[in-house]
Amino acid sequence: MSSSDTATGPSGSAAGSACGFPDITINTDRLVLRALEPEDAPALAEMLNDELVHQWTTVPHPYTAADAHAWVHGRAARERDSCRGLVLGAVEFLTQRLIGTVRLRATDWRLRSTEAQVVVAPWARGEGYAGEIVHAVAQWLFEDQKFERMELRTAAGNTPAQQVAQKLGAISEGVLRSSWLVRGADATPDRETRSDLIVWSLLPEDLLVEDLEPGWS
């Protein structure tokens, strides 16, 4: 949810050949995090049309099959190819059903820092999936990619997202006042409400490693 999509290379200049995330698959006890595939598009469209996703994010509304197709068939891959970040789908290990997505964005390769955004399907909430997804990605970032900082930004009214950040061990660093727009079910440009954003940081030494309990995603 940050205002900048600029990716920087090791010297702080525009992204170059030394930057970029690998094509990666991350496994947890319940999930497989991997690149989005064409067959994910229908489930992605359904997930991103959810009322809470519409309220707290900037995804188009309604989120159409064409939007999902464009994201899965090109835009998500270009996030990695352009060094801006990484997009992964989270699927259940047993059923291979798409239950969420995670996006790393505003990546700074010189500072080894990035921002994580996670969305979980409405039917999968309350089972700890959001925390499981972000925890797995953070652990991979810090251990394998040698990153030093991951940010999360949550709207002031988005209590579940704040609980996820807290239980990961993230530290609240402050508030960006009136820096976000929250949408309602019938939102139009003149019905959006301004909101503060809480900035959370997670450093390698902050990440909690105990078992994650269901019920706080």
Q: What is the pLDDT of residues 117-156, one digit of tens each?
A: 999 999 999 999 999 999 999 999 999 999 999 999 999 9
CB 126 within 8 A of CB 102: no
pLDDT at 8 over 50: no
pLDDT of 19 reads 83
Q: Is the overall model pTM greater than 0.95, yes or no?
A: no
Tell me the pLDDT of the chain averaged across its residues. 87
Crossing angle for the helix pair 129-143 and 159-168, to the nearest 10 degrees: 40
Cα gap 101→95, rounded to integer Å: 16
What are the C-alpha distances in Å from 150 to residues 6, 10, 213? 16, 17, 22
pLDDT of 191 reads 76
Which ranges in 28-158 belong to alpha helices (H)?
Answer: 41-48, 51-56, 65-70, 76-81, 129-143
Determine the straight-line distance between the first and last CA of the chain, rounded to whole angstroms.
18
